[in-house]
Amino acid sequence: MSPTPIAVFGAGGFGREVRWLIDDINARDRTWDFVGFFDDDAHPRKVDANYYLGTMDDLNRWPASLAVVFAVGNPPTKRRLIGQVKSPLVYFPVLIHPTCCVGISSDSLGEGSIICAGTMITVDVRIGRHVILNLGCTVGHDTVIGDYSAFMPTVNISGEVAIGEAVYVGTGASIVNGVEIGQDTVVGAGAVVVRSLPAYCTAVGAPARPIKFHGPEQQTQ
């Protein structure tokens, strides 16, 4: 069976890391044929010009079926960009690095999600669409993660946690058992979430506390 064509939207540092993830998958089992990067920046740095495929308009004009993952760390930006995909030929695969330990079925992992090297997901977890779990994250039992959320390296999520849509959690943060985090909230690097957090806030510290709030209208900019 021939490898499936795949592209990455986002030609920044994380986009290049996702290409590396694809290469590692192919080293185990030749699954993907990497065709290049899309990015609305017409001159992405550190990307071979031969692998730059164009902007969102070019993606929507792509003439054949194409798997695309969005390597965009900012959840509201990622949500907005994915909403601009109009081509019926574009679909969103799940990428899981071969070193991950995943205790859930594919039915519990939403389309377009990216699970990076060393991540561990235990049992009865539900993960939404276009979620990023970066290097070395852990997700405990019975946790639910909303669409578009992004977790930077070594985030630890305990069991029975409920995380809303488009939440961003910074590097090395910890979320204790049973808390809830509202949609479009940002948790700072190294924070320790021991109590539930509302939607549309930025929270930092140990224990994490909201330091500012932002309205939903700002998330569509």
Locate 107 and state its tokens.
């039915």
Locate 121 and state its tokens.
């997901």
Cβ neighbours of residue 76 under 8 Å, at least 6 residues apart?
148, 166, 184, 219, 220, 221
Q: Which of 188, 187, 170, 171 is nearest to 179 (CA)?
A: 187
Please give the positions annotated as active site. Answer: 141
Q: For residues 186 and 210, is the Cβ–Cβ distance under 8 A?
A: no
- Alpha carbon 110 to its chain centroid, in Å, reads 11
C-alpha to C-alpha distance for 38 and 72, rounded to whole angstroms: 11
